Chain A
Protein backbone atom coordinates (compact mmCIF):
# COMPACT_ATOMS: atom_id res chain seq x y z
CA UNK A 1 0.00 0.00 0.00
CA UNK A 2 1.28 3.39 -0.92
CA UNK A 3 1.93 6.11 1.63
CA UNK A 4 -0.21 8.42 -0.34
CA UNK A 5 -3.85 8.87 0.50
CA UNK A 6 -4.30 9.78 -3.12
CA UNK A 7 -2.21 8.26 -5.85
CA UNK A 8 -3.37 9.06 -9.34
CA UNK A 9 -1.85 8.43 -12.71
CA UNK A 10 -3.03 9.74 -16.03
CA UNK A 11 -6.52 10.75 -14.95
CA UNK A 12 -8.44 11.95 -17.95
CA UNK A 13 -11.94 13.23 -18.38
CA UNK A 14 -13.66 14.14 -21.58
CA UNK A 15 -17.19 15.38 -21.06
CA UNK A 16 -19.92 14.56 -23.47
CA UNK A 17 -19.72 17.27 -26.05
CA UNK A 18 -15.97 16.84 -26.27
CA UNK A 19 -14.67 19.17 -23.54
CA UNK A 20 -11.40 17.73 -22.34
CA UNK A 21 -11.55 18.76 -18.72
CA UNK A 22 -8.58 16.68 -17.57
CA UNK A 23 -5.80 15.59 -19.88
CA UNK A 24 -3.90 13.01 -17.91
CA UNK A 25 -3.21 14.19 -14.38
CA UNK A 26 -0.74 12.53 -12.06
CA UNK A 27 -1.05 13.40 -8.40
CA UNK A 28 0.35 12.01 -5.20
CA UNK A 29 -1.02 13.38 -1.99
CA UNK A 30 0.81 12.37 1.18
CA UNK A 31 -1.12 11.64 4.32
CA UNK A 32 -1.71 14.39 6.83
CA UNK A 33 -1.06 17.44 4.70
CA UNK A 34 -3.01 20.38 3.46
CA UNK A 35 -3.01 20.04 -0.27
CA UNK A 36 -4.09 22.85 -2.54
CA UNK A 37 -5.35 22.19 -6.03
CA UNK A 38 -5.05 25.53 -7.76
CA UNK A 39 -6.18 26.63 -11.15
CA UNK A 40 -8.14 29.27 -12.98
CA UNK A 41 -11.85 28.90 -13.73
CA UNK A 42 -12.53 25.90 -15.87
CA UNK A 43 -9.16 24.32 -15.13
CA UNK A 44 -10.72 21.02 -14.11
CA UNK A 45 -10.43 21.23 -10.32
CA UNK A 46 -14.02 20.33 -9.60
CA UNK A 47 -13.92 17.67 -12.28
CA UNK A 48 -11.09 16.02 -10.38
CA UNK A 49 -13.01 16.04 -7.10
CA UNK A 50 -16.14 14.73 -8.82
CA UNK A 51 -14.21 11.81 -10.25
CA UNK A 52 -12.76 10.97 -6.87
CA UNK A 53 -16.19 11.09 -5.22
CA UNK A 54 -17.94 9.05 -7.96
CA UNK A 55 -20.16 11.86 -9.18
CA UNK A 56 -18.72 11.36 -12.64
CA UNK A 57 -16.73 8.60 -14.28
CA UNK A 58 -13.19 9.13 -15.50
CA UNK A 59 -12.44 8.62 -19.16
CA UNK A 60 -9.07 7.15 -18.41
CA UNK A 61 -6.32 6.72 -15.88
CA UNK A 62 -5.88 4.77 -12.71
CA UNK A 63 -5.47 5.52 -9.10
CA UNK A 64 -6.15 4.74 -5.50
CA UNK A 65 -7.72 6.68 -2.70
CA UNK A 66 -7.00 5.53 0.84
CA UNK A 67 -5.58 2.39 -0.69
CA UNK A 68 -8.75 1.49 -2.59
CA UNK A 69 -9.20 1.90 -6.32
CA UNK A 70 -11.01 5.11 -7.10
CA UNK A 71 -14.73 4.59 -7.38
CA UNK A 72 -14.75 2.12 -4.50
CA UNK A 73 -17.48 3.13 -2.09
CA UNK A 74 -15.87 1.64 0.97
CA UNK A 75 -13.21 4.34 0.68
CA UNK A 76 -15.87 7.02 0.53
CA UNK A 77 -16.96 6.25 4.05
CA UNK A 78 -13.69 7.73 5.23
CA UNK A 79 -14.01 10.76 2.97
CA UNK A 80 -15.59 14.09 3.76
CA UNK A 81 -16.83 16.33 0.99
CA UNK A 82 -17.97 19.87 0.64
CA UNK A 83 -19.05 20.00 -3.00
CA UNK A 84 -18.90 23.09 -5.13
CA UNK A 85 -22.24 24.95 -5.02
CA UNK A 86 -23.32 22.60 -2.25
CA UNK A 87 -27.07 22.54 -1.94
CA UNK A 88 -28.25 21.17 1.33
CA UNK A 89 -31.92 20.51 1.92
CA UNK A 90 -33.14 23.99 2.75
CA UNK A 91 -35.99 22.72 4.90
CA UNK A 92 -33.48 21.30 7.37
CA UNK A 93 -31.84 23.20 10.16
CA UNK A 94 -28.08 23.52 10.25
CA UNK A 95 -27.89 20.83 12.86
CA UNK A 96 -30.16 18.50 10.89
CA UNK A 97 -27.89 18.87 7.86
CA UNK A 98 -24.97 17.62 9.91
CA UNK A 99 -27.10 14.77 11.21
CA UNK A 100 -28.29 14.04 7.67
CA UNK A 101 -24.73 13.50 6.44
CA UNK A 102 -23.99 11.49 9.56
CA UNK A 103 -26.96 9.26 8.76
CA UNK A 104 -25.86 8.81 5.15
CA UNK A 105 -22.39 7.88 6.33
CA UNK A 106 -23.78 5.44 8.88
CA UNK A 107 -22.33 7.24 11.87
CA UNK A 108 -23.80 5.60 14.98
CA UNK A 109 -26.64 7.65 16.47
CA UNK A 110 -24.94 7.73 19.84
CA UNK A 111 -21.93 9.49 18.33
CA UNK A 112 -23.79 11.78 15.99
CA UNK A 113 -25.17 14.01 18.69
CA UNK A 114 -21.89 14.67 20.36
CA UNK A 115 -20.06 15.16 17.07
CA UNK A 116 -22.69 17.56 15.82
CA UNK A 117 -22.26 19.59 18.99
CA UNK A 118 -18.52 19.85 18.68
CA UNK A 119 -18.61 20.55 14.94
CA UNK A 120 -21.16 23.29 15.37
CA UNK A 121 -18.89 24.75 17.99
CA UNK A 122 -15.93 24.40 15.66
CA UNK A 123 -17.54 26.37 12.84
CA UNK A 124 -19.10 28.83 15.27
CA UNK A 125 -22.66 27.94 14.41
CA UNK A 126 -23.87 26.76 17.79
CA UNK A 127 -26.26 29.65 18.19
CA UNK A 128 -27.81 29.42 14.73
CA UNK A 129 -27.98 25.61 14.66
CA UNK A 130 -31.75 25.50 15.12
CA UNK A 131 -32.58 27.76 12.19
CA UNK A 132 -33.50 26.47 8.76
CA UNK A 133 -30.85 26.43 6.04
CA UNK A 134 -33.00 28.63 3.84
CA UNK A 135 -32.67 31.36 6.42
CA UNK A 136 -28.88 31.24 6.49
CA UNK A 137 -26.51 33.61 4.77
CA UNK A 138 -24.10 32.24 2.18
CA UNK A 139 -21.25 32.10 4.64
CA UNK A 140 -23.35 30.38 7.28
CA UNK A 141 -24.32 27.69 4.79
CA UNK A 142 -20.68 27.24 3.93
CA UNK A 143 -19.77 26.82 7.59
CA UNK A 144 -22.40 24.13 7.98
CA UNK A 145 -21.07 22.61 4.75
CA UNK A 146 -17.61 22.35 6.25
CA UNK A 147 -19.00 20.92 9.48
CA UNK A 148 -21.00 18.21 7.73
CA UNK A 149 -17.93 17.21 5.73
CA UNK A 150 -16.23 16.31 8.98
CA UNK A 151 -19.01 14.44 10.72
CA UNK A 152 -17.87 10.96 9.68
CA UNK A 153 -14.39 11.52 11.11
CA UNK A 154 -12.86 11.42 7.62
CA UNK A 155 -9.26 10.65 6.81
CA UNK A 156 -9.40 12.84 3.77
CA UNK A 157 -11.56 15.91 3.31
CA UNK A 158 -12.31 17.44 -0.07
CA UNK A 159 -13.27 21.07 0.09
CA UNK A 160 -14.25 22.63 -3.22
CA UNK A 161 -14.07 26.41 -2.84
CA UNK A 162 -14.60 26.22 0.93
CA UNK A 163 -14.29 29.93 1.69
CA UNK A 164 -16.71 31.00 -1.00
CA UNK A 165 -18.83 33.64 0.70
CA UNK A 166 -17.12 33.43 4.06
CA UNK A 167 -16.20 36.73 5.74
CA UNK A 168 -12.63 37.66 6.80
CA UNK A 169 -13.12 36.53 10.37
CA UNK A 170 -14.59 33.31 9.07
CA UNK A 171 -11.61 32.82 6.79
CA UNK A 172 -9.21 33.22 9.66
CA UNK A 173 -11.25 30.68 11.61
CA UNK A 174 -11.16 28.46 8.58
CA UNK A 175 -7.38 28.56 8.44
CA UNK A 176 -7.14 27.72 12.10
CA UNK A 177 -9.57 24.88 11.59
CA UNK A 178 -7.54 23.48 8.71
CA UNK A 179 -4.41 23.50 10.81
CA UNK A 180 -6.26 21.73 13.56
CA UNK A 181 -7.50 19.05 11.20
CA UNK A 182 -3.98 18.56 9.96
CA UNK A 183 -2.80 18.12 13.52
CA UNK A 184 -5.42 15.43 13.91
CA UNK A 185 -3.73 13.62 11.06
CA UNK A 186 -6.32 14.25 8.37
CA UNK A 187 -5.50 15.09 4.82
CA UNK A 188 -7.21 18.17 3.49
CA UNK A 189 -7.62 18.63 -0.22
CA UNK A 190 -8.67 22.15 -1.09
CA UNK A 191 -9.76 23.44 -4.49
CA UNK A 192 -9.50 27.14 -4.80
CA UNK A 193 -8.42 30.11 -6.79
CA UNK A 194 -8.30 32.41 -3.81
CA UNK A 195 -4.63 31.95 -3.19
CA UNK A 196 -4.05 34.31 -0.32
CA UNK A 197 -6.37 32.01 1.56
CA UNK A 198 -4.16 29.05 1.18
CA UNK A 199 -0.74 30.56 1.29
CA UNK A 200 -0.22 30.59 5.06
CA UNK A 201 -1.38 27.04 5.61
CA UNK A 202 -0.83 24.94 2.54
CA UNK A 203 1.84 22.22 2.54
CA UNK A 204 1.81 21.24 -1.08
CA UNK A 205 0.14 22.62 -4.13
CA UNK A 206 -0.68 21.40 -7.61
CA UNK A 207 -1.36 23.96 -10.26
CA UNK A 208 -3.56 22.93 -13.14
CA UNK A 209 -4.83 24.84 -16.08
CA UNK A 210 -6.94 23.64 -18.97
CA UNK A 211 -6.80 20.12 -17.67
CA UNK A 212 -3.05 19.91 -17.49
CA UNK A 213 -0.80 19.75 -14.46
CA UNK A 214 1.59 22.69 -14.65
CA UNK A 215 3.43 22.24 -11.41
CA UNK A 216 3.29 20.26 -8.22
CA UNK A 217 5.24 20.29 -5.00
CA UNK A 218 6.12 22.09 -1.79
CA UNK A 219 5.44 25.79 -2.11
CA UNK A 220 9.02 26.91 -1.43
CA UNK A 221 10.41 24.55 -4.02
CA UNK A 222 8.00 25.81 -6.60
CA UNK A 223 8.96 29.41 -6.16
CA UNK A 224 11.07 30.40 -9.09
CA UNK A 225 11.93 33.80 -7.65
CA UNK A 226 14.31 33.62 -4.73
CA UNK A 227 13.41 35.69 -1.72
CA UNK A 228 15.17 39.05 -1.39
CA UNK A 229 15.40 41.92 1.06
CA UNK A 230 14.29 45.35 0.04
CA UNK A 231 15.73 48.25 2.01
CA UNK A 232 14.14 51.62 1.38
CA UNK A 233 15.71 54.88 2.59
CA UNK A 234 15.46 58.64 2.21
CA UNK A 235 18.43 60.73 1.07
CA UNK A 236 21.48 59.96 -1.11
CA UNK A 237 24.36 57.57 -0.53
CA UNK A 238 27.92 58.71 -0.97
CA UNK A 239 29.48 57.58 -4.27
CA UNK A 240 32.10 55.54 -2.41
CA UNK A 241 29.46 53.56 -0.58
CA UNK A 242 27.53 52.99 -3.80
CA UNK A 243 30.64 51.57 -5.39
CA UNK A 244 31.51 49.29 -2.50
CA UNK A 245 27.93 48.08 -2.16
CA UNK A 246 27.62 47.24 -5.84
CA UNK A 247 30.81 45.26 -5.52
CA UNK A 248 29.22 43.03 -2.88
CA UNK A 249 26.34 42.24 -5.19
CA UNK A 250 23.71 44.60 -3.88
CA UNK A 251 21.44 46.19 -6.42
CA UNK A 252 21.02 49.91 -5.96
CA UNK A 253 18.24 52.08 -7.23
CA UNK A 254 17.39 55.55 -6.00
CA UNK A 255 16.16 55.10 -2.48
CA UNK A 256 16.13 51.27 -2.68
CA UNK A 257 18.71 48.62 -2.03
CA UNK A 258 17.92 45.03 -3.03
CA UNK A 259 19.84 42.24 -1.33
CA UNK A 260 19.56 38.80 -2.90
CA UNK A 261 19.30 36.93 0.34
CA UNK A 262 16.70 35.74 2.74
CA UNK A 263 18.95 35.92 5.81
CA UNK A 264 18.41 38.99 7.97
CA UNK A 265 21.98 38.82 9.34
CA UNK A 266 23.31 39.42 5.85
CA UNK A 267 21.73 42.82 5.59
CA UNK A 268 22.71 44.20 9.01
CA UNK A 269 25.99 45.73 7.70
CA UNK A 270 24.03 47.54 4.99
CA UNK A 271 21.70 49.01 7.56
CA UNK A 272 24.67 50.01 9.72
CA UNK A 273 26.24 51.82 6.77
CA UNK A 274 22.99 53.69 6.03
CA UNK A 275 22.75 54.77 9.66
CA UNK A 276 26.37 55.89 9.64
CA UNK A 277 25.67 58.14 6.70
CA UNK A 278 22.73 59.63 8.58
CA UNK A 279 20.08 58.43 6.15
CA UNK A 280 16.52 57.66 7.20
CA UNK A 281 15.43 54.03 6.85
CA UNK A 282 11.82 54.01 5.74
CA UNK A 283 11.26 50.30 5.20
CA UNK A 284 13.00 46.94 5.39
CA UNK A 285 11.15 44.01 3.91
CA UNK A 286 11.73 40.38 2.97
CA UNK A 287 10.13 39.91 -0.42
CA UNK A 288 9.00 36.40 -1.39
CA UNK A 289 7.20 35.44 -4.53
CA UNK A 290 3.59 35.26 -3.53
CA UNK A 291 1.51 32.26 -4.38
CA UNK A 292 -0.43 34.51 -6.67
CA UNK A 293 2.68 35.54 -8.58
CA UNK A 294 3.76 31.94 -8.74
CA UNK A 295 0.38 30.89 -9.97
CA UNK A 296 0.16 33.63 -12.57
CA UNK A 297 3.64 32.73 -13.74
CA UNK A 298 2.60 29.15 -14.40
CA UNK A 299 -0.71 29.98 -15.94
CA UNK A 300 0.67 32.70 -18.20
CA UNK A 301 3.41 30.41 -19.38
CA UNK A 302 0.92 27.75 -20.29
CA UNK A 303 -1.40 30.19 -22.00
CA UNK A 304 1.12 32.10 -24.08
CA UNK A 305 3.17 30.24 -26.62
CA UNK A 306 6.23 32.46 -26.15
CA UNK A 307 5.78 33.99 -22.73
CA UNK A 308 7.35 37.35 -22.06
CA UNK A 309 10.14 36.84 -19.59
CA UNK A 310 8.99 37.86 -16.17
CA UNK A 311 11.75 39.76 -14.39
CA UNK A 312 13.67 37.39 -12.26
CA UNK A 313 11.99 34.36 -13.76
CA UNK A 314 13.78 31.99 -16.08
CA UNK A 315 12.13 31.67 -19.47
CA UNK A 316 11.85 27.92 -19.17
CA UNK A 317 9.54 26.56 -16.55
CA UNK A 318 11.41 25.57 -13.48
CA UNK A 319 12.12 21.95 -12.84
CA UNK A 320 9.46 20.78 -10.49
CA UNK A 321 10.65 18.62 -7.71
CA UNK A 322 8.32 15.77 -7.01
CA UNK A 323 8.60 13.68 -3.97
Chain B
Protein backbone atom coordinates (compact mmCIF):
# COMPACT_ATOMS: atom_id res chain seq x y z
CA UNK B 1 0.00 0.00 0.00
CA UNK B 2 1.27 3.49 -0.84
CA UNK B 3 2.09 5.37 2.28
CA UNK B 4 2.83 8.85 0.94
CA UNK B 5 1.50 11.43 -1.40
CA UNK B 6 2.17 15.06 -2.29
CA UNK B 7 -0.81 17.36 -2.25
CA UNK B 8 -0.96 20.85 -3.75
CA UNK B 9 -3.29 23.44 -2.28
CA UNK B 10 -3.94 25.36 -5.49
CA UNK B 11 -5.44 28.25 -3.54
CA UNK B 12 -2.08 28.97 -1.92
CA UNK B 13 0.12 28.20 -4.92
CA UNK B 14 1.34 31.28 -6.77
CA UNK B 15 2.84 29.50 -9.79
CA UNK B 16 6.38 30.60 -8.97
CA UNK B 17 8.01 27.34 -10.16
CA UNK B 18 10.17 27.31 -7.04
CA UNK B 19 9.41 23.65 -6.35
CA UNK B 20 10.85 22.64 -9.74
CA UNK B 21 14.18 24.27 -8.98
CA UNK B 22 14.20 23.12 -5.34
CA UNK B 23 13.93 19.59 -6.67
CA UNK B 24 16.58 20.02 -9.35
CA UNK B 25 19.16 21.55 -7.04
CA UNK B 26 18.54 18.91 -4.37
CA UNK B 27 19.21 16.15 -6.87
CA UNK B 28 22.06 18.09 -8.51
CA UNK B 29 20.37 17.96 -11.91
CA UNK B 30 21.68 19.89 -14.91
CA UNK B 31 19.62 21.74 -17.51
CA UNK B 32 17.25 19.20 -19.06
CA UNK B 33 15.45 16.91 -16.65
CA UNK B 34 12.60 18.14 -14.41
CA UNK B 35 11.23 15.73 -11.83
CA UNK B 36 8.17 17.78 -11.05
CA UNK B 37 6.14 20.31 -12.90
CA UNK B 38 3.72 23.13 -12.13
CA UNK B 39 1.07 23.83 -14.74
CA UNK B 40 -2.15 25.79 -14.81
CA UNK B 41 -5.50 25.85 -16.53
CA UNK B 42 -6.30 28.61 -19.04
CA UNK B 43 -7.61 31.70 -17.26
CA UNK B 44 -11.37 31.80 -16.76
CA UNK B 45 -13.40 34.63 -15.26
CA UNK B 46 -15.01 33.72 -11.93
CA UNK B 47 -17.25 36.53 -10.60
CA UNK B 48 -15.38 39.03 -12.75
CA UNK B 49 -11.91 37.88 -11.73
CA UNK B 50 -9.86 35.84 -14.25
CA UNK B 51 -8.79 32.81 -12.21
CA UNK B 52 -6.90 29.58 -12.67
CA UNK B 53 -6.17 26.27 -10.97
CA UNK B 54 -2.58 25.14 -10.49
CA UNK B 55 -1.50 21.52 -10.80
CA UNK B 56 1.61 19.85 -9.45
CA UNK B 57 2.83 16.67 -11.06
CA UNK B 58 5.72 14.44 -10.14
CA UNK B 59 5.72 10.63 -10.34
CA UNK B 60 2.43 8.95 -9.41
CA UNK B 61 4.25 6.14 -7.62
CA UNK B 62 1.68 3.77 -9.18
CA UNK B 63 0.26 0.93 -7.11
CA UNK B 64 1.17 -1.28 -10.03
CA UNK B 65 3.89 0.60 -11.89
CA UNK B 66 4.44 0.13 -15.61
CA UNK B 67 8.05 1.17 -15.33
CA UNK B 68 9.23 -1.53 -12.90
CA UNK B 69 8.69 -4.76 -14.91
CA UNK B 70 10.21 -3.37 -18.13
CA UNK B 71 13.47 -2.42 -16.49
CA UNK B 72 16.04 -4.92 -17.86
CA UNK B 73 18.40 -4.63 -14.90
CA UNK B 74 15.92 -4.43 -12.04
CA UNK B 75 17.13 -0.92 -11.25
CA UNK B 76 13.56 0.41 -11.10
CA UNK B 77 12.12 -0.74 -7.82
CA UNK B 78 9.09 -0.26 -5.62
CA UNK B 79 9.58 -0.07 -1.87
CA UNK B 80 7.29 -1.51 0.80
CA UNK B 81 6.00 1.98 1.52
CA UNK B 82 5.09 2.45 -2.16
CA UNK B 83 7.96 4.67 -3.28
CA UNK B 84 9.06 3.80 -6.82
CA UNK B 85 12.74 4.64 -7.23
CA UNK B 86 15.79 3.97 -9.36
CA UNK B 87 18.78 2.18 -7.95
CA UNK B 88 21.34 4.23 -9.85
CA UNK B 89 24.12 1.71 -9.43
CA UNK B 90 22.24 -0.77 -11.60
CA UNK B 91 20.61 1.68 -14.04
CA UNK B 92 22.12 1.48 -17.57
CA UNK B 93 20.23 4.50 -18.94
CA UNK B 94 18.29 2.49 -21.56
CA UNK B 95 15.17 4.55 -20.78
CA UNK B 96 12.82 1.59 -21.24
CA UNK B 97 11.04 2.85 -18.11
CA UNK B 98 10.27 6.19 -19.73
CA UNK B 99 8.81 4.38 -22.73
CA UNK B 100 6.63 2.20 -20.54
CA UNK B 101 5.36 4.98 -18.28
CA UNK B 102 2.14 6.44 -19.75
CA UNK B 103 3.23 9.92 -18.63
CA UNK B 104 6.87 9.57 -19.63
CA UNK B 105 7.88 10.44 -16.09
CA UNK B 106 11.46 9.07 -15.87
CA UNK B 107 13.93 11.51 -17.39
CA UNK B 108 17.40 11.15 -18.80
CA UNK B 109 20.18 12.77 -16.78
CA UNK B 110 22.87 13.84 -19.26
CA UNK B 111 25.40 14.24 -16.44
CA UNK B 112 25.22 10.62 -15.33
CA UNK B 113 23.93 8.93 -18.47
CA UNK B 114 21.22 7.32 -16.34
CA UNK B 115 17.52 7.69 -15.70
CA UNK B 116 16.29 9.84 -12.86
CA UNK B 117 12.81 10.33 -11.44
CA UNK B 118 10.96 11.57 -8.40
CA UNK B 119 11.62 9.26 -5.47
CA UNK B 120 9.74 11.39 -2.93
CA UNK B 121 13.22 12.41 -1.79
CA UNK B 122 13.39 9.14 0.12
CA UNK B 123 16.84 9.90 1.51
CA UNK B 124 15.32 12.94 3.24
CA UNK B 125 12.08 11.18 4.19
CA UNK B 126 14.01 8.30 5.76
CA UNK B 127 15.74 10.67 8.16
CA UNK B 128 12.50 12.38 9.11
CA UNK B 129 12.67 15.33 6.71
CA UNK B 130 10.15 16.38 4.09
CA UNK B 131 10.86 16.24 0.33
CA UNK B 132 12.81 19.18 -1.07
CA UNK B 133 9.90 20.61 -3.06
CA UNK B 134 7.62 20.54 -0.01
CA UNK B 135 10.20 21.87 2.46
CA UNK B 136 10.99 24.93 0.37
CA UNK B 137 7.67 25.65 -1.36
CA UNK B 138 7.43 29.44 -1.41
CA UNK B 139 3.96 29.63 0.12
CA UNK B 140 3.74 26.26 1.90
CA UNK B 141 1.17 25.21 -0.70
CA UNK B 142 2.69 21.73 -1.08
CA UNK B 143 2.03 19.14 1.61
CA UNK B 144 3.67 15.75 2.07
CA UNK B 145 0.91 13.54 3.30
CA UNK B 146 1.40 10.25 5.12
CA UNK B 147 -1.62 8.06 4.54
CA UNK B 148 -2.70 6.45 7.79
CA UNK B 149 -3.33 2.72 7.65
CA UNK B 150 -6.86 1.94 8.67
A and B part of one assembly = no
